[in-house]
Each structure stands twice: as structure tokens, then as C-alpha cells.
């Protein structure tokens, strides 16, 4: 007997055989049990022995052995068809999983729920001539509904990923009744001394036919990312929900929500010398998609998150996801609009804080934020505002839009390309409305050719904030600026292109396209053009080019984010950091 065999025998006899200490397997086993999936068809092998060895010593699982993977897959299909319950397949590395293909294609076509758990060495071994390692990243589209790759867990981030994605994988299996693949890696650990599976989060998915959980008695924030315009029915349901449950709506200008109980918290939450207690939320209900309001979305500190979306995808931005509701938003809110609690303390607290900060806004230099401060409340009712990525969107998120003005931004891909073209395309579809756009110089020139398009409409008005660079990277708080200072201009911020603020090519483009062009370089100049910008009488498209400096843009942002100082903020910040460290260490 070798030394390693002797050590393993000593361990086994002392502790008995329980669960592997390989964390990715623990998570999978825990959630299989939680979702009630007990039947497993196993083919022999080495890379899956940690998983299989843990399962065979747990009486919850019904284990079946089959040498031939092709036969094992068809056996699992027969079991699943007869029982009308999902069945797990487990195999090792090399070509073992390739033998599943015919059976899984059949299962896919017949909507038979088979959870395929293949096992492998580390994903880093793929492509390096390692024996028995095959690439399982891609599967035929008519064989596997969705596939997941779980490497060995090395830190809390890996643990969170595997936990969330295992919940999603099993949910996809149960909801869609088609094969789902999990390829899980192993370290060949010989430690099976883990007696209890712990620290794994079960994240259920609910539908309208489910028994939905009760609404917790806590302060509630409904956060809306980018979203189509809310219908009257959706708006009424959300307003009633907020009225019933002491809830507030937080959203940026891409949310499509213009109802009651909405409070813009970008300015209070952006503060660097002040901590808003309204960030702390008992329950956050997450609607919509990506948000460009970094300060609000990134500033919220929820204890738990419910995600409501018809796609059922496990989007866990805050790493606090506890439930997914696969249903229409109006159906979700209407379900909970009974048994209302009294009071609007959270909404009133947010509103009061928002008003306090609105009065504290400093006198900032000429730039994107100042332009937003002068124009945001003057946009005509029925108009639409398209904001460029990212400085323009952030600047305008500090301010509310008038009732009846819709906001938009290309936050899906979050690139600077196409912002002007999207504005023009939207304007073409509604010639009776005025469409405004605010973009930086790099964003404009990236997309400048649209001004020469033969279908160019006349009902758009574009503000180009020309600071001569990608100002994002020169802002005082950006890592690149903090690391390299002004030298970031050379490449990272791409300064000095397109005439370097001296000879603007926009003039010639506007002349060619018969667009009304105005050059602005001061607060006084801009104040003089506002009347024309918001007038419904203009019969030409308009471009207003505002020349600003990097220093003024950065200073304006700093002044906005430091307009209030809490004398105890340093102590509170230290306490929060210590608390986070303790949470991560499990103390």
C-alpha cells in the first residue's frame, strides 16, 4: 500500500465517507437535493469520482450504473419519460460525453429533461495536449439548451458564480424540459470528510402558477434599468404597489417609467464625503436591463434582491439575489397589491434628501453638467432626449426631466458608437416630435457620417460637447487619470483628434447637410441659444457645438460629488469597510 493510499484509508476510517471537499461539487449536490432531482445514471471514470462518490453515500440519490455512455443516455431518457421527472447523467472526461450525442438530440426534440453533468480536468488544460481532455464549451444547438462551464473554485467570486449558475441551469432544465449541460472540473481530491453541505444559496424561480413568497416587512426599492416605456397598466400597478408597501422607485432616464413614487437619487448617492442611509434597502426589486446610472445602481446596498423579468435569467448584479419571478411585471405587482401596509416613510425620506441636495448644488464651470442644469427643465413636452455614453448620460442623470419628456441611451452594448444614428433613426419615425441629443466629441465623430445620410430628418437638435478627448478618462476619479494624470490624453483618452478643438469639421458637415450650426464657448453664449433650442418653430435640424475644457468638466463633477460633507463620514466609511471584510471572512 502506497503512502497516499494509507493516508486516505486513515482519513476514511476516522471520518467515514461523506461529501467531497471540492466546492463546485458541493454546490451542485446541494441544489440537486433542493430541487428534488434524485435519479442519477453514472458511467465509470476518474474525473467524476468526487461527484459520484459523494452522491453514493447520500441516501437521497437513486444511483444507477451503466458502462456504455450511449446506453446510459437512452436509459436516462426512458426513466425521465416514464417518471416525468428529470434525470442526471454523469460521465468522465476524454470522449465519454461524445457518446451521449444521439440520445441527447432525441431528448432535445422530445422535450425530455436530462441534466448532463460531465467531469473534466481544469479548463486551463484544454488545447494543451493533455490526455483525456476534450473541449466541451460548445454543443450542437439542437442537442443542449444551454451549457455551463464550472472550473475549480478558488475564491468567493468563483463560489458565487457557480452557485448562481447552478440555480439557473437547473431552472432552465425544469422550465424548458430540454437537456442542459454542466461541465464541472475536478482536482481529484481524496477528502470526503465534509459532513454537511452549507453556504449554498437556493434561488427559486416563480411563475404565476407558483405559490409566491410573502412580501417582507421592510423598506423596498424598485430599481428600473433600461426599459421600454411603461404602459398605463404597468404604471398603475407599480404606483399601487409603492402606495401599499412603503416602496420607492429609483431609475435613470432610460427606464421608461414616468409615474409616481419615482425619486432621482443620483446626486445624493454620488457623494464622496457623505453616506446616505437611503442606500440601505431591505428588499430591492430589480426590473429592466443595464443601467447607466452608476451612482444610484452602484450605490444601493440591498439585503436581498428579487429579479422580475419574463426571460427568467438569473441576473445577480448585487450578489444578493434570492428569487427570480418569471412573469410580466404588472402581474407581479398586482399579485402583491393586496393587504397593504400604511405609511410612505422611505419614499418621503428619499424625497427629502433629494430636495436637500438639489439646493446644495454648487456654481459649477461650463461643461456637460452645467448644460444639463440649464436645459433639463426647459425641454418641451412630448420631446425625446438621447444621451451619449458615458459623460453625457451621467451628467444628465443628476437632473430630472419634465413630465412628458422621454429619455434614451444606448446602454445595451455601452459603446460610444451609433448614438447619433440612433437619435436620427428615432427622429425619422416621429416627424411631429423634437428629438434632442447630447454627445461628446469622440462619440459624434465616431458616428458623424449619419449627417450626410439622404434620409436625414429636420426634427432633431444635437448638442456636441467638444472637450477634445474622451473626457471620461481625464475625470479626477477615473483610474487612468489617477494613474497617469494628463499624460492619459496621449492614447487612453485619445485627445487631439478632429482638429483638436481648433478647426471643427462639424461646420462643413452641417453646411453640406443644410443643418443650422452654432458654436458655443461660454455660459453666456449657451444661455443665448436656449430659446432657439427649445422652440417648436425651427424648420431645420440643429447642431450646437459647445467647446469645453477637460479641467472644467472634471472640476464640475468633483464639485457635484462633494457638495455636502458629513462630519462623521470617515468613521462610518471605516466601519463599513471593516464590516465588509468581516462578512467576506465569515466572522
Interacting residues of 439 by C-beta distance below 8 A, sequence separation 6+ = 387, 388, 392, 416, 419, 420, 462, 463, 464, 465
Residue 268 in any domain: the answer is yes
Q: How far, in Å, CA of 499 to CA of 468, rounded?
A: 9
Q: Are residues 52 and 182 in the same domain?
A: yes
Predicted local distance difference test score (pLDDT) of residue 583: 72
Predicted local distance difference test score (pLDDT) of residue 339: 75
Please compute the mean of the pLDDT values over residues 17-34 and round it to a whole number. 97
Q: Are residues 227 and 173 in the same domain?
A: no
Residue 57 in any domain: the answer is yes
* Percentage of the residues of the chain whose pLDDT score is greater than 70: 96
Q: How far, in Å, CA of 355 to CA of 372, rounded?
A: 17
pLDDT tens digits, 252-262: 999 999 999 99
Residue 573 in any domain: the answer is no
Please compute the mean of the pLDDT values over residues 559-567 and round it to a whole number. 91
Q: Are residues 312 and 382 in the same domain?
A: no
Please compute the mean of the pLDDT values over residues 178-195 and round it to a whole number. 96
Decide which of 315, 335, 359 is a domain's last residue: 359
pLDDT band at 544 (very low <50, low <70, confident <90, very high): very high
Q: How far, in Å, CA of 407 to CA of 69, rounded?
A: 55
Q: How many domains does the chain have?
A: 3
Strand order in the sheet with 301-308: 205-206, 321-325, 301-308, 280-287, 220-224, 247-251
Predicted local distance difference test score (pLDDT) of residue 135: 86
Q: Which long-range contacts (CB under 8 A, 24 or more apart) does 348-355 make?
A: 349/277, 349/278, 350/248, 350/250, 350/263, 350/265, 350/278, 351/263, 353/265, 353/268, 353/276, 353/278, 354/263, 354/264, 354/265, 354/267, 354/268
Q: Are residues 386 and 409 in the same domain?
A: yes
Q: Are residues 273 and 311 in the same domain?
A: yes
Q: How far, in Å, CA of 127 to CA of 134, rounded?
A: 8
pLDDT tens digits, 429-461: 999 999 999 999 999 999 999 999 999 999 999
Q: Are residues 334 and 373 in the same domain?
A: no
pLDDT band at 11 (very low <50, low <70, confident <90, very high): low
Strand order in the sheet with 384-387: 406-409, 384-387, 435-440, 460-466, 542-547, 516-520
Q: How far, in Å, CA of 148 to CA of 129, rounded?
A: 23
259: domain range?
A: 220-359
Predicted local distance difference test score (pLDDT) of residue 8: 54
Q: How far, in Å, CA of 572 to CA of 27, rounded?
A: 35
Predicted local distance difference test score (pLDDT) of residue 4: 63
Residue 212 in any domain: the answer is no
Q: Are residues 409 and 545 in the same domain?
A: yes
pLDDT tens digits, 41-97: 999 999 999 999 999 999 999 999 999 999 999 999 999 999 999 999 999 998 999
Comparison of pLDDT for 8 and 434, the residue scoring more: 434
Q: Are residues 351 and 418 in the same domain?
A: no
Contact 489, 495 (CB under 8 A): yes
129: left (phi over 0), alpha (psi -120 to 50) or beta: left
Q: Are residues 75 and 123 in the same domain?
A: yes
Q: Are residues 554 and 505 in the same domain?
A: yes
Q: Are residues 88 and 119 in the same domain?
A: yes
Predicted local distance difference test score (pLDDT) of residue 9: 56
Amino acid at each position: 500500500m502506497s503512502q497516499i493510499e494509507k493516508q486516505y484509508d486513515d482519513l476514511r476510517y476516522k471520518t467515514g465517507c461523506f461529501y467531497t471537499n471540492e466546492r463546485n461539487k458541493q454546490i451542485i449536490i446541494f441544489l440537486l437535493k433542493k430541487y428534488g432531482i434524485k435519479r442519477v445514471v453514472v458511467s465509470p471514470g476518474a474525473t467524476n469520482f468526487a461527484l459520484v462518490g459523494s452522491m453514493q453515500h447520500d441516501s437521497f440519490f437513486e444511483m444507477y450504473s451503466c458502462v456504455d455512455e450511449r446506453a446510459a443516455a437512452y436509459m436516462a431518457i426512458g426513466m425521465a419519460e416514464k417518471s416525468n421527472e428529470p434525470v442526471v447523467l454523469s460521465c468522465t472526461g476524454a470522449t465519454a460525453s461524445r457518446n451521449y450525442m444521439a440520445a441527447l438530440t432525441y431528448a432535445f426534440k422530445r422535450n425530455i429533461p436530462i441534466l448532463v453533468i460531465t467531469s473534466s480536468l481544469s479548463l486551463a488544460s484544454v488545447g494543451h495536449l493533455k490526455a483525456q481532455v476534450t473541449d466541451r464549451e460548445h454543443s450542437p444547438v439542437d442537442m443542449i439548451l444551454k451549457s455551463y462551464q464550472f472550473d475549480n473554485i478558488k475564491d468567493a467570486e468563483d463560489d458565487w458564480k457557480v452557485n448562481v449558475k447552478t440555480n439557473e441551469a437547473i431552472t432552465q432544465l425544469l422550465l424548458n424540459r430540454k437537456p442542459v449541460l454542466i461541465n464541472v472540473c475536478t482536482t481529484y481530491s481524496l477528502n470526503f470528510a465534509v459532513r454537511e453541505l452549507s453556504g449554498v444559496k437556493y434561488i427559486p424561480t416563480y411563475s404565476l402558477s407558483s405559490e409566491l413568497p410573502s412580501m417582507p416587512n421592510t423598506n423596498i426599492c424598485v430599481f428600473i434599468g433600461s426599459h421600454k416605456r411603461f404602459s398605463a397598466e404597468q404604471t398603475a400597478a407599480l404606483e399601487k404597489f409603492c402606495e401599499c408597501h412603503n416602496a420607492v422607485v429609483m431609475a435613470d432616464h432610460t427606464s421608461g417609467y414616468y409615474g409616481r413614487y419615482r425619486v432621482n437619487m443620483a446626486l445624493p448617492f454620488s457623494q464622496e464625503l457623505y453616506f446616505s442611509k437611503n442606500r440601505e434597502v431591505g428588499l430591492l426589486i430589480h426590473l429592466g436591463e443595464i443601467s447607466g446610472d452608476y451612482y444610484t445602481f452602484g450605490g444601493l446596498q440591498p439585503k436581498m434582491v428579487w429579479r422580475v423579468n419574463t426571460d427568467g435569467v438569473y441576473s445577480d448584479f448585487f450578489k444578493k439575489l434570492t428569487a427570480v419571478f418569471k412573469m410580466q411585471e404588472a402581474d407581479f405587482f398586482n399579485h402583491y397589491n393586496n393587504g397593504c401596509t400604511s405609511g410612505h416613510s422611505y419614499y418621503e425620506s428619499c424625497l427629502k434628501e433629494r430636495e436637500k441636495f438639489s439646493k446644495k448644488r454648487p456654481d459649477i464651470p461650463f461643461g456637460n453638467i452645467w448644460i444639463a442644469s440649464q436645459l433639463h427643465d426647459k425641454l418641451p413636452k412630448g420631446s425625446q432626449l438621447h444621451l451619449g455614453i458615458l459623460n453625457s448620460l451621467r451628467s444628465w442623470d443628476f437632473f430630472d426631466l419634465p413630465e412628458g419628456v422621454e429619455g434614451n441611451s444606448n446602454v445595451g452594448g455601452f459603446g460610444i458608437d451609433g448614438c447619433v444614428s440612433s437619435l436620427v433613426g428615432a427622429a425619422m419615425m416621429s416627424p411631429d416630435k423634437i428629438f434632442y441629443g447630447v454627445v461628446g466629441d469622440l462619440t459624434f465623430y465616431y458616428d458623424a457620417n449619419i449627417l450626410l445620410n439622404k434620409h436625414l430628418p429636420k426634427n432633431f437638435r444635437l448638442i456636441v460637447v467638444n472637450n477634445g478627448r474622451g473626457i471620461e478618462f481625464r475625470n479626477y476619479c477615473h483610474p487612468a487619470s489617477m494613474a497617469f494624470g494628463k499624460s492619459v490624453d496621449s492614447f487612453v483618452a485619445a485627445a487631439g483628434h478632429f482638429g483638436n478643438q481648433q478647426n471643427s469639421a462639424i461646420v462643413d458637415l452641417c453646411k453640406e447637410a443644410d443643418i443650422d450650426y452654432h458654436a458655443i464657448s461660454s455660459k453666456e453664449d449657451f444661455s443665448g441659444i436656449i430659446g432657439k433650442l427649445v422652440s417648436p418653430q425651427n424648420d431645420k435640424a440643429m447642431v450646437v457645438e459647445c467647446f469645453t475644457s477637460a479641467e472644467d468638466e472634471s472640476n464640475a463633477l468633483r464639485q457635484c460629488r462633494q457638495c455636502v460633507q458629513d462630519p462623521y463620514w470617515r468613521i462610518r466609511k471605516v466601519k463599513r469597510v471593516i464590516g465588509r471584510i468581516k462578512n467576506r471572512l465569515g466572522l
